[in-house]
Structure 1
Amino acid sequence: MTTFTISRFLSLFICTLFGHALLAQSQYELKAGWMSAPISQVKEKGEAISTSSYSTAAWAPAVVPGTVLTTQLHNKQIPDPFYGMNNERIPDIYTTGREYYTYWFAKDFTESTPQKGEQVWLHLRGVNYSSDVYLNGRKLNEKTHHGMFLRQTYNITPYLAKDGNNRLAVLVYPPDPVGKPNGGQGGDGTIARNVTHQYVAGWDWIQPIRDRNTGIWDKVIIEKTKQVNLKNPHVITLVPGKRKPNGPQQPATVKVTAELENPTSEKIRGVLRYTLDGKTVSKKVSLPANSTQKVALDDLVLQNPKLWWPNMYGPQHLYPLHLQFLVNGKTVSDEETVQVGVREIQTVWNERTRSMQVNVNGQPIFIKGGNWIISDAMLRFSDARYDAEVRYHRDMNLNLIRIWGGALVERPEFYEACDRYGLLVIQDFWMTGDANGRWVDPLKADDQWTRRKYPDDHGLFLRSAADQVKMIRNYPSLAMWCGGNEITPPAGILTALQDSILPELDGTRWFIPYSNADSMSFNTIGGNGDGPYTIQPISQFWAYRTWPFNSEVGSVGVGDLESLERFIPKENLVAPQYLGKDHKPSEKVDSVWTYHTYTGVGYEQHILPYGAPTDIRDFTRKAQLVNYDQYRALMEGFSSHMWDWYTGTIIWKTQNPWTSMRGQMYDYYLDPNAALFGLRNGGEPLHVMFDPVDSMVMAVNNGFEMKRDLMLVATAYDMAGKSTSLGQLIVEINPSTAKKYFPLKGNLRRLGNEKGVFLSLRLLDLDQNVISNNFYWLPNAAGNYTGLNELAKAKVHVTAKQIEKGKMEVTLSNPATNTVAFFNRVSLIDPQTNERILPAFYSDNYISVPPGEQQRITVEYTPVEGAASPAITVEGWNVEKLTLPVTTTGSAGR
């Protein structure tokens, strides 16, 4: 089906549903066919440029949505700034001056002259930073528009060309000031004088974006309506009481308001109505000429509702709500559709932990979150990339994403993905302690007191905040607002946000003054309420009590060799050399690694127990052992103290929008490293685990139901593959509880004294199905993993078969005569290039298979029409790499 056919089908369907002949409303995006030129090469004014007689033949094709850099990259005017040291070859705006990156963008489009009663609207969802907008020789904005986060809408009905051939021209200016990229967080900090994102001047996980992301960075949309424009609908759901995901539900209440804009010179009467779950609510409305009016409809009591739950706690049901305005109750003027998740989020102070506790539908939700920067540092957003990244967070068994304050309010498509996958969202506003003056900082241009007043235009900040609240407030995944990262906004902004803007425009969500405020997590330890950030001894996560709702903790994530090869030149693929003595870390690191923000602090102490790396491949495979162990231990340690020490934790950070080498579960190219799967394992909703501090076997139940009749089985394996039973026990565990069962200390010390030992913990149901499977590798008495380096090769049998389109099943079988087949990475590859297919979603990975057993995982991806059938590779610590095709019947390897 073509796009036109789909649109027409939907229009006819809705018309039939509501008994009307044809919908007046439609919209389309102005995407392809844009042209661009730097202002230095254009002498004419916007009035002339925006006429069809002006030739843009000498201009270059432009990327919209995009930035000046994405346009230059598309036209091969610059090298890929994400590869090697290429970013150093691109002129920085601080050096060139703002005019260098001030650009014209022009787009020709066809739109017929509106018929009587029709209105045509131009929407610019995001321009960074300032813009003048012209259409067919007319300037649409009387004054230059400022602000990255303030949408623009123009009624262009009177300005459309009679012959239907129109030209839109937009002059885009960079932020002012642009900030000096001097190596500080946000450079010299002056980028924060604007209402824009701050990371573009550089941070400790990214180099500066040379144009500061100047451009038409978000969608440009033409919308057609009849006389009245329906906009900014607002849907609130109330779910009283304490609910469970299954069974009959008591009623929920749905509250709906919307704004109606009448741009005509006549009073208009009509009906505002919506339909939800087969029920219709309507209200008669009279709109004065040239007015905008907010209309509240009667509440709808939804019987036996299907509720929306966070990931791991229940399904994410969404109801389509169709909202329309009908002129005189007959002709559809405009309509909007909102996907409604029926849920209610409450926050209560937990006196035991002294931190905020998040409840959804009356149930306590132990927060397992990840800090998110932005999907792409150069703002190259797509629905597919959003879906993949949010799905990875779901697959990590997380239930929350915090959007960091140095970036932006994400695009609606991001929240749609969070709605689908059950990820709650904390949305920061655009403040950071680094640039906005929390600390004295010699790298900053202004003193602390001056920076505390940033941005320069408080009114623009507040208008932008109100606009963005309206844009995303209907998404059920959006759970909390936050004033800023590690700092409150200036007093006037803070007061307006918490006392007027949010109560008036939202009113249902918790507002946190800043990301580590005492009202979120009472800080009795001192410091900022964040961290630690470096690699920790495994026992630290279990024994050291940190902040009770920690907004930022943890930071490793170097990828494997295949990941590094994508952005580091071959000559720079050199493993760090460890020079430390007397347990003091010291490294010699390649300059390209340093440029891509490699931080080795801690890797040395944790890699050396496996043996000093012999080359880059050896380094990266040992790094994966560290990654897996770190993030499994982090989530297990926090979960072991659920509701006792903690109400939640948020990892710093889970993804990178640039080719950085720190704080990530998957790389910029969407290739997961072992950290993702260690976190997935440690965050299971029902999970068996080993406390390394007191050697206790534990289990944690995050759910709302008692778990009974489970068999807990503990088994040790030595380096030859010999197994020793360490005990088994029928167990039960209460809802939302972590519980200790029995110790293993003496047995483990004896079995692993010289070479270390493998520990397998499992929970089985009455049918002996594995409910939770956890496999540890433990060091010897000296803290080294000497036994791993003596493991005999294990020849495993592998099958790979397609079970449905885009989904295959891989089975690893380890004969009983083998030792443990340890730490195997399964990869889906293109057999023609031998490169990994990305993104791909694995039910598990970096898996170990004891002798006489097998492990089965599924792999999902999106097939490309005409592409070769994929293949599978398997490679482990003591398993040689093998490649085999995927067939419909299964194929066997060694």
Structure 2
Amino acid sequence: MKFKLAVLLAILLATVSPLAAQNSYELNTGWKCLPMAKANATGQTISQPTHNLADWQPAVVPGTVLTTQLENKEIPDPFYGMNNKRIPDIYETGRDYYTYWFVKDFQETAPSGDEQVWLHLRGVNYSCEVFLNGQKLNDKTHYGMFLRQTYNVTPHLAKNGANRLAVIVYPPDPVGKPNGGQAGDGTIAKNVSHQYVAGWDWIQPIRDRNTGIWDKVTIEKTKQVNLKNPHVITVVPGVRKPDGAQQPATIKVSAELENPTSKSVIGTLQYTLDGQTVSQKVSLPARSTQQISLKDLTLQNPKLWWPSGYGPQNLYQLKLQFLVKGKTVSDEETVQVGVREIQTEWNDRTQSKQVKVNGQKVFIKGGNWIISDAMLRFTDARYDAEIRYHRDMNLNLIRIWGGALVERPEFYQACDKYGLLVIQDFWMSGDANGRWIDPLKLEDQWTRRQYPDDHQLFIKSAADQVKMVRNYASLAMWCGGNEITPPKDILTALEDSILPSLDGTRWFIPYSNSDSMSYNSLGGNGDGPYTIQPISKFWAFKTYPFNSEVGSVGVGDYESLVRFIPKENLVAPQFLGADKKPSEKVDSVWEYHTYTGVGYEHHILPYGAPKDVKDFATKAQLVNYDQYRALMEGFSSHMWDWYTGTIIWKTQNPWTAMRGQMYDYYLDPNACLYGLRNGGEPLHVMYDPVDSMVMMVNNTFEMKRDMMLVINAYDMAGKKTPMGQVISEINPSMAKKYVPVNAAIKKLAQDKGMFLSLQLLDLNKQVISDNFYWLPDAKGEYSGLKEMPKATIQLEAQQTAKGKIEVTLTNPATNTVAFFNRLALVDAKTQQRLLPVFYSDNYISVVPGEKKTITMEYTPAADGSLPAVTIEGWNVAKQVISTKQ
């Protein structure tokens, strides 16, 4: 059916919520809860402040039933060991088991005059009834995980200021059977909700399907008029550069104004940006909502926002106000504005889209993101740390996978801060929504193709979520769904009505591996592969030209594994069978946490069969580093020729999984992060293992000149063999071949393998890019590493500022290479790693006679005590040193 504009306008005016309101506070403590079956009272009764709550338990809001049960020690940590199997699943218990009342007492005096008080619920999963002081606020049951709710509670507030809010929350319906399939039996997708909660190949089922008041609850106070859903568009014409004076940019601002009172209101809508004010007189009839567009502002010499690696992330604060009679502030919102323009164009050579920011084409180095926490325990600090890690990987884009959420404003604030572009999927997946025949699904492909059951709820929710996040500079593209388009009427609404009317500035991709994004001439699904690959394959095998999902392994190190695997299950996989067809014997807890070893043994065994789990984890880090460095180098080496971008599947896990992660659930990075960081440097020197060429890639907008490319080989004893030195230059946004080293490497590596050091120096001999490879012998074995002599490295740690430590590693000239050293910042007393810590580099190799300095940033202890530093390497014994002040 065709989506009519009149219906759209009704949706637009119905979806409301503050961005950063003038006078608001969050209701995030002091909640109580009780299962519906135990309440034995109506919402009208429960919401009376006099109703006795003596038998009620503390509740976590924002949170879910499961997070509340965990807080009250009713269930074990579902992310540890096999604990999740001990928690009743909603498919077996029935929905009533996880249907809960949530109650909050709060103080707010009924206002006098024309003041208004508003209740905002930013996310409830899945349906609910809302009561305040004995009155039901919603005429009809609210449905939809992603549809915000706003209620004018002014007439319902208690005169004495003692109020009670009561919300009964019902789980999704149906809840889906977790039968081991992607999204279980698929029926969870009949709801307008997230799909992974019924289980996927990277996560076990979330037992309550995340039922609860999962996002923020706020009280907002205004005068007569409520200012809501501001919209800021920035227009940056021409081709820009990050430095120097800028031609003007245009700022377009609009907002909705709601007058709930019985009288018309005359006033002024105005905003201030960079010291300039734009205003417009407005007359609002009684009980009406209007959208008002202000005159465009020409911003002279704007400070532009750029993706990470290309320029600074400048941000402005725009204050938008409505003044009654031009004098009294009725309401105001503050919007964070990054001045930039996103464009796309078709690359005829690659047969894929390429992304442009401020007129400059950007080679996309991205990561797929699921969700910060599978049980929806979101914090600003966690978002900031995770997005910072993505920036530190030298990525410039994150794709939000369609089986989860439209991400929260706090996520986008962090992306704005760190310069990560975002592709935001809507709530579809090829698995649940019928792209393939699947015997694990309850209903056939044709039926699933029409999920969800309520298309209008999906459309209404999409419109609401677009308005929630559309002002963020980092949001670059919308996507209809993961590996499948939404049903035709939903797709038409998104393409023809919602996005043009509510945004109109961003590229819309019908689905994540659409031919309109990346023409698929190779067959298959248009994304992948997902398993470990021979290093040469990343360089020599041409895959999809803008690959939305391609990945490899990601097992954490030993310290990561012990956090969630019981001691008795810390058993390394055993590699069995013939050399050409090995198989694995894997512990059951590892399997439950989605360990995948397909092909892993081919890459682990060349380092020697693992002696124990710690040895396995150490060798896995070598594989991790090599895989992700090669992935990004291989794609970058063919940019604008084969590829316009690549997006790794995946960069993080929202629970304690053992695959596809650059850091673990506890925010502890593994070698994947640093291999990717190295391979994704904006200006990078690298070795092509297929044709044995030393190459350089320049992912900046500037010509780079007067650089010295230095190539050295080292044997296992640390003896250096110079292999070339040349003054170099490279044009903007290109990859270039420089020096062939095939014959020399073949000779030096034949018996025991070798080390290859590539450095790019400026004219002051300062290192610009440093890349260190370990290469196998002629048989593909790391025979030299297996018998490598020990190295003693000198380590010093100095506090240089609060929350910042500088570590210097020195390898004496008489040593061999100090290979693959893992640094960690630890509690000086317990020796436990501090998390998160942001290292300027890690898994570091230091050649004889070399000194390297690493910075570590962390959150300081409240008592001012300093942490210690540990180091442990392939041939370096573990050391622990104190930090000097």
Q: TM-score range by the shorter chain?
A: over 0.9
Aligned residue runs from structure 1 range 482-521, under 5 A: 482-521=479-518
1:695 to partner: Cα distance: 0.2
Contact residue 322 and residue 330 of structure 2 kept, 8 A: yes
After superposition, what is the alpha-carbon deviation per residue over 1:175-214, rounded to whole angstroms, capped at 9, x for unaligned? 0000000000000000000000000000000000000000
The corresponding residue for 1:869 is: 866
CA distance in 2, matches of 1:730, 1:138: 78
Letter in 1 for 2:431: D
Distance 1:24 1:616, change over 3 A: closer
Q: Using the TM superposition, name which of 91-100 and 826-835 deviates more.
A: 826-835
Contact residue 869 and residue 880 of structure 2 kept, 8 A: yes
Q: Note if 1:887 corresponds to 2:869.
A: no
The corresponding residue for 1:679 is: 676
1:585 to partner: Cα distance: 3.3
The corresponding residue for 2:748 is: 751
Q: Note if 1:245 corresponds to 2:245.
A: no
Contact residue 552 and residue 628 of structure 2 kept, 8 A: no
Aligned residue runs from structure 1 range 97-116, under 5 A: 97-116=94-113
1:406 to partner: Cα distance: 0.2
What's the % identity of the aligned pairs? 77
3-state SS of 1:579 partner: strand
Contact residue 80 and residue 87 of structure 1 kept, 8 A: yes
CA distance in 2, matches of 1:814, 1:572: 37
CA distance in 1, matches of 2:356, 2:172: 40
Q: Note if 1:33 corresponds to 2:33.
A: no
Contact residue 552 and residue 627 of structure 2 kept, 8 A: no
2:275 aligns with one of 275, 278, 284: 278
Aligned-pair Cα RMSD in Å: 0.8
Letter in 1 for 2:723: L
Contact residue 25 and residue 333 of structure 1 kept, 8 A: no
Aligned residue runs from structure 1 range 837-848, under 5 A: 837-848=834-845
Aligned residue runs from structure 1 range 548-627, under 5 A: 548-627=545-624
Letter in 1 for 2:802: K
CA distance in 1, matches of 2:78, 2:238: 52
After superposition, what is the alpha-carbon deviation per residue over 1:651-676, rounded to whole angstroms, capped at 9, x for unaligned? 00000001000000000000000000
1:138 to partner: Cα distance: 0.2
CA distance in 2, matches of 1:336, 1:53: 36
CA distance in 1, matches of 2:301, 2:760: 35
The corresponding residue for 2:710 is: 713
Contact residue 149 and residue 468 of structure 1 kept, 8 A: yes
The corresponding residue for 1:310 is: 307
CA distance in 2, matches of 1:543, 1:866: 54
Contact residue 587 and residue 600 of structure 1 kept, 8 A: yes
3-state SS of 2:218 partner: strand
The corresponding residue for 1:351 is: 348
Q: Note if 1:158 corresponds to 2:155.
A: yes
CA distance in 2, matches of 1:278, 1:119: 30
The corresponding residue for 2:761 is: 764
CA distance in 1, matches of 2:31, 2:65: 12
Contact residue 21 and residue 220 of structure 2 kept, 8 A: no
The corresponding residue for 1:546 is: 543
CA distance in 2, matches of 1:24, 1:421: 24
3-state SS of 1:836 partner: coil
The corresponding residue for 1:892 is: none
CA distance in 2, matches of 1:587, 1:56: 55
1:176 aligns with one of 173, 176, 193: 173
Aligned residue runs from structure 1 range 626-641, under 5 A: 626-641=623-638
1:823 to partner: Cα distance: 0.1
Q: Note if 1:824 corresponds to 2:812.
A: no
Letter in 1 for 2:494: L
2:327 aligns with one of 316, 321, 330: 330
The corresponding residue for 2:10 is: none
CA distance in 1, matches of 2:762, 2:714: 23
1:791 to partner: Cα distance: 1.1
Q: Note if 1:381 corresponds to 2:348.
A: no
The corresponding residue for 1:220 is: 217
1:319 aligns with one of 291, 316, 320: 316
CA distance in 2, matches of 1:113, 1:97: 40
1:831 to partner: Cα distance: 1.5
CA distance in 2, matches of 1:416, 1:373: 17
1:25 to partner: Cα distance: 4.1
After superposition, what is the alpha-carbon deviation per residue over 1:276-308, rounded to whole angstroms, capped at 9, x for unaligned? 000000000000100000000000000000000
Aligned residue runs from structure 1 range 679-698, under 5 A: 679-698=676-695
Distance 1:582 1:789, change over 3 A: closer
CA distance in 1, matches of 2:332, 2:75: 43
Contact residue 24 and residue 333 of structure 1 kept, 8 A: no
Letter in 2 for 1:770: V
After superposition, what is the alpha-carbon deviation per residue over 1:597-656, rounded to whole angstroms, capped at 9, x for unaligned? 000012100000000001001000000000000000000000000100000000000000
Letter in 2 for 1:77: E
Q: Note if 1:849 corresponds to 2:846.
A: yes
The corresponding residue for 1:891 is: none
- TM-score (normalised: structure 2): 0.97
Q: Using the TM superposition, name which of 576-585 and 757-766 deviates more.
A: 576-585
1:867 to partner: Cα distance: 5.9
Contact residue 348 and residue 356 of structure 1 kept, 8 A: yes
Letter in 2 for 1:816: A
3-state SS of 1:586 partner: strand
1:24 to partner: Cα distance: 10
1:127 to partner: Cα distance: 0.2
The corresponding residue for 1:464 is: 461
1:832 to partner: Cα distance: 1.6
3-state SS of 1:207 partner: coil
Contact residue 303 and residue 314 of structure 2 kept, 8 A: yes
1:113 to partner: Cα distance: 1.3
Q: Note if 1:294 corresponds to 2:291.
A: yes
- TM-score (normalised: structure 1): 0.96
Q: Using the TM superposition, name which of 575-584 and 483-492 deviates more.
A: 575-584
Paired positions, count:
866
Q: Note if 1:447 corresponds to 2:444.
A: yes
The corresponding residue for 1:194 is: 191
After superposition, what is the alpha-carbon deviation per residue over 1:106-150, rounded to whole angstroms, capped at 9, x for unaligned? 000000110201000000000000000000000000111000000
Q: Where does structure 2 lack aligned partners over 5 or more consecutive residues?
A: 1-19
After superposition, what is the alpha-carbon deviation per residue over 1:13-38, rounded to whole angstroms, capped at 9, x for unaligned? xxxxxxxxxx9941000011000000
- Point out 4+ residue stretches in structure 1 off by more than 6 angstroms: none
The corresponding residue for 1:7 is: none
Contact residue 832 and residue 868 of structure 1 kept, 8 A: no
3-state SS of 2:286 partner: coil
Letter in 1 for 2:228: K
Distance 1:777 1:106, change over 3 A: same
1:651 aligns with one of 645, 648, 652: 648
The corresponding residue for 2:797 is: 800
1:77 to partner: Cα distance: 0.2
CA distance in 1, matches of 2:729, 2:390: 29
After superposition, what is the alpha-carbon deviation per residue over 1:479-529, rounded to whole angstroms, capped at 9, x for unaligned? 000000000000000000000000000000000000000000000001110
After superposition, what is the alpha-carbon deviation per residue over 1:351-406, rounded to whole angstroms, capped at 9, x for unaligned? 01000000000001000000000000000000000000000000000000000000
CA distance in 1, matches of 2:861, 2:581: 50
The corresponding residue for 1:422 is: 419
CA distance in 1, matches of 2:325, 2:347: 53
Letter in 2 for 1:493: I
Contact residue 794 and residue 810 of structure 2 kept, 8 A: yes
The corresponding residue for 2:772 is: 775
CA distance in 1, matches of 2:787, 2:818: 13
The corresponding residue for 1:57 is: 54
1:555 to partner: Cα distance: 2.6
1:582 to partner: Cα distance: 3.8
